[in-house]
Structure 1
Amino acid sequence: MSEQQFYHALKVDKDKCFGCVHCMNECPTDAIRIRDGVATIRKDWCIDCGECMKACPVDAIYVEQDDFDDIFNYKFRVAILPSVFIGQFSKQINVEEIIEVLHGLGFTHIIPAEATVDVINQAMLEAYDSEVEKPLITTFCPSIVRLIQIRFPGLVNNILPISPPIDSTATYYRKRLIDEGKNPDEIGIFYVTPCASKIATVKSPEGQDNSSVDGVINMDFLYNKVFHILNNRNKDIKDNDNYNLEFISPKALKWSLTEGESTNMKGRCLAIDEIHNVIKFLNKVENDEIINVDFLELRACDQSCAGGVLLSENRFLTVERMKKRAEHLEELQLVPNEISFDHQQFIKEKLTINSIKPRSMMGLDNDMATAIKKMERVRRIMCFLPGIDCGACGSPSCEGLARDIVLKDANLSNCVFMQRMMEKSKKLDPQHSIRIIEKTWGKDRLDKDCYKKGAKNEGI
């Protein structure tokens, strides 16, 4: 069991959070609790999927990111640009304009994140032909890798130990610049991320000692800067939709969309997106209810990267635009920039990562015998809890509270229904009940407040 701590990009702004439990109810790994009136994230259980961020009604959950000005610490400033960034712009804006603005903002080199997809795809197909456990599961989505480590540790051996495009492209382009005579110390590679999990994987990569990426740029931040500049540009720029930052194939352009990988693999391949759909499916895989599947493309976001929490545009429009751009590339019959044979060999040498280790932090104890005893305690405690899953205790469910009690992070009296029963039998003083509620929800939480969200004076 790995002892390394996960890095997490998702943070809670305690000044904004008012403990509404929306995030706690949406978290797929039960990583969120309410304490002292605000949400807290259990680091060992969080997979940075961003569901909490999407659910928060007051934007109290945010993504911790690198400062954009960090790029200027380097002479050669490379942007690893996912195709979904381009897909957010309407067809009235051509790619050359976007690239021109990015250069104007400070990047000296720009390369599509999917530039190395063909090499990756070949390695995946070779793995398929080898004697490996199936279904093979792609490492493309870091949230899915962490989900499997935490909730489905028995499936870690199914994860393909092959670097996703973010790493292989960064590794390749750094090598390419060095081969061109650039000083390695002057090269800074920055990934423009559509989600929180890719920030986390750069800071604490799985299966690698360190990442080839020097920093991450929030896609929402960068998109809005580029959009603002383009929205105020001169309208007489030629409509020239040549993807000349580095030509990539239509396959690579669609790689980050749902079915982008599965349509390029052999055997019976399935693509599942959206984290809750993935969990339901993996439960069936783990219970042997689904068999004879060769490859699984699993993505945490609805519509895959087009639905990332750091995208500004509608995910369905983004998908449509990207598919149309891919069709346009096919019509033009443009030949993608070929990676040299030497560089292809270099990428292949660097593609393999170490085996992913289980990190079942949701377990009650690392010692199996102790964990079984603690689970028996959980089940005994559940005999007393009402099973209503109201969240009033600050845990996401009655079972969650029972686990918290066993882990000594809560007490039976945290349940408001148990409080009433204890008061009735004179085992709990009413004033102590109030103190318990205040410890979970903060002082004065139950006082009349006409200015809170949804009340008649909200916003006044």
Structure 2
Amino acid sequence: MVESGFYHALKVDGDKCFGCTHCMNVCPTAAIRIRDGVATIRPDWCVDCGECMRACPVDAFYVEQDDFDKIFQYKCRVALVPAVLIGQFPEKVTEAEIFSVMRELGFTHVFQTEHTAGIISRSMVEAAREMEDKPVISSFCPAIVRLIQIKFPSLLDQVMRIKPPIDASAVYFRKRLEDEGIHPDDIGIFYITPCAAKIAAVKSPVGEEQSPIDGVINMQFIYNKIYKRIKSRHETSSISPGEMLPLLSPGSIKYSLTGGEASRMEGRCLAIDEIHNVIEFLEKLEHDEIEGVDFLELRACDQSCAGGVLVGGNRFLTTERLNKRAGRFEGVADIPGDIKAYTHFMSNNLDIGLLEPRSMMALDEDMGEAMRKMQQVRHLMCFLPGIDCAACGAPNCQSLAEDIVRREAQLSACVFIQRMMEKHSKLSGEHALKIIEKIWGKNRLDKDCKKKGAADEANIEE
């Protein structure tokens, strides 16, 4: 049974988009097409990795997120803060200052997401010992879990069904606050997210009926609000000592960075970041070209969460700052004392449900019909030029052939086929122009000296 449709945090602003194909060319799952001169996202293939958002030259992609004022719907307003938020700030800014300002912004409680990393790692080691199929694959990155669902469904059984810190910590802190006497309806837990994929994971969790998170807040947005207040304080020398939260161990601080999980697992472990690198490796794994690996830590972003699309700072500087921070806390317990008191509770609440395949490769639910359509695709590829120019509004010839078989496009969308059809009087020049306009929008071929790179680009009206 296939799960209901994914929620997607990434959206396209049609007023900004001019169909430049940058996004389509970098999308790792070929989920983007150009229609009427605007990028469109195929929802059943998108994994919210954010590559399109990075590549867009006009910021036409944006993230749909919760309004900050949503936190005030709750009496107990909890900010779940990942370590990479701390890594955004210059070293002179202390953790205590950051947490203090977050309270001033309206949060009643601030907790660190990686607080549960130690107990999660222990559970992962135990689970990996029992799993027969190797390598075992981490479930930390929601973009990667969705990628495997749609592109590598045969590997789903190897994905470890253990909650990542964002979910585990939300479950733990909610339980702790309830034990302190706070009514469940009064508790709102908000994750400060470095990426779009985690927004999607909260809105439509995979393997779970409902997320333990009540809302998500763009990390860049909250960083700007915090840093503005802190700089103002530094300028006036009115620096508050702030408050400290329980210290994280060095391993927990670095948990969301590349190698953060792999360094804690047993056997031969590999850490691979950036989604195209991950895809290349998983293709080798699927074809049995990889042997002797026990555990795979896979992250969609370069430098893992430090390179998230909603992280405003430089990913390499963020990584450096977190490594330095970890060095200052050598000797801190990997599993905090308060977590030990909830060991039994956490052990019973770390599992996630069954992960269902959502294969993008299947051309039809009926196997026989799918095979017939695959033959159609191969037949169409005999005629398509294989140039992969993307002028048809699809990323490559293979994608166009599949779109045609799905009845989402026509062979005449290919500009080279158009020329051949015109040569044999099977298509008029006027009809060919209409096809181009349907893909790229009307007047797209008109002279325009204000477009990017043209003579009058500097005179574009704001």
TM-score by length of 1: 0.97
Secondary structure of the 1:92 match is coil
Residues 163-242 of structure 1 mapped to structure 2, 5 A cutoff: 163-234=163-234, 236=237
Question: What is the letter of the counterpart of residue 410 of structure 1?
Answer: A
Letter in 1 for 2:82: P
On the 8 A contact 1:23/1:55 being kept in 2, the answer is yes
2:16 equivalent to 1:16: yes
Q: Which residue of 2 aligns with 1:457?
A: 456
Corresponding residue for residue 111 of structure 2: 111
Contact 1:79 1:189 (8 Å CA) reproduced: yes
Aligned to 2:435: 436
Task: Report the equivalent of 1:92.
Answer: 92
Instruction: Indicate conservation of the 8 Å contact 1:45/1:362, yes or no.
Output: no
Query: Does the C-alpha gap of structure 1 residues 258 and 297 become closer, same or farther in structure 2, counting only changes over 3 Å?
Result: same
Question: In structure 2, what is the equivalent of residue 247 of structure 1?
Answer: 247
Counterpart in the other structure of 2:73: 73
For 2:386, the equivalent position in structure 1 comes to: 387
CA contact (8 A) 1:247 1:335 kept: no
Secondary structure of the 2:349 match is: helix
Cα distance in structure 2, aligned partners of 1:400 and 1:97: 51
The CA deviation at 1:152 is 0.4
Q: Kindly state the Cα deviation for residue 244 of structure 1 after the two structures are TM-superposed.
A: 2.1
Measure the CA separation in 1 of the matches of 2:166 and 2:287.
Answer: 32
Q: Which amino acid aligns with 1:13?
A: D
Mapping for residues 302-321 of structure 1, pairs under 5 Å: 302-321=302-321
Task: Flag structure 2 segments of 5+ consecutive residues without an equivalent.
Answer: none
Amino acid at match of 1:368: M
- Residues 234-267 of structure 1 show CA distances to partners (whole Å, capped at 9, x for unaligned) of 3546797x98222211111000000000000001
Shift, 1:317, TM fit: 0.2
1:79-158 alignment to 2 at 5 Å? 79-158=79-158
Conserved 8 A contact 1:157-1:355: no
Q: Is the 8 A contact 2:74 2:186 kept in 1?
A: yes
Question: Which residue does the alignment assign to 2:362?
Answer: 363
Mapped partners of 1:44, 1:334: distance in 2: 42
Question: Residues of 1 paired with 2:273 and 2:153: CA distance?
Answer: 20
Give 1:255-334 correspondences, 5 Å limit.
Answer: 255-330=255-330
Quote how far apart the aligned CAs of 1:344 are.
2.0
Q: Percent identity?
A: 60
2:46 matched to which residue of 1?
46
> Is the 2:254–2:322 Cα contact (8 Å) retained in structure 1?
yes
Give the distance between the partners of 1:347 and 1:339, measured in 2 at CA.
Answer: 12
Partner of 1:419: 418
Tell me, yes or no, if the aligned pair for 2:251 and 2:334 is still in contact at 8 Å: no
Query: Greater shift after overlay, 255-264 or 126-135?
Result: 126-135
Deviation at 1:169, TM superposition (A): 0.3
The offset of 1:3, in angstroms, is 3.7
Aligned-partner Cα distance in 2 for 1:382–1:364: 16
Give the SS at the match of 2:217.
Answer: strand
3-state SS in 2 of match to 1:150:
helix
Q: Which runs of 4+ in 1 moved over 3 A?
A: 234-240, 333-337
Most deviating of 294-303 and 218-227: 218-227
Contact persistence 2:273–2:304 (CA under 8 A): yes
What are the superposed Cα offsets for residues 154-211 of structure 1, whole Å, 9 maximum, x if unpaired? 0000000101111010000000000000011110000000000000000010111100
Structure 2 counterpart SS, 1:351: coil
Deviation at 1:334, TM superposition (A): 7.5
Aligned to 2:377: 378
Q: Per-residue deviation at 1:26?
A: 0.2
RMSD: 1.5
Assess if the C-alpha contact under 8 Å between 1:10 and 1:62 holds in 2.
Answer: yes
More displaced stretch, 224-233 vs 136-145: 224-233
Equivalent position amino acid for 1:180 in 2: E
Assess if the C-alpha contact under 8 Å between 2:257 and 2:306 holds in 1: yes
Contact 1:84/1:318 (8 A) holds in 2: yes
CA distance in 1, matches of 2:339, 2:449: 66
Q: CA deviation at 1:150?
A: 0.5
Mapped partners of 1:459, 1:403: distance in 2: 40
- Scaled by the length of structure 2, the TM-score of the pair is 0.97
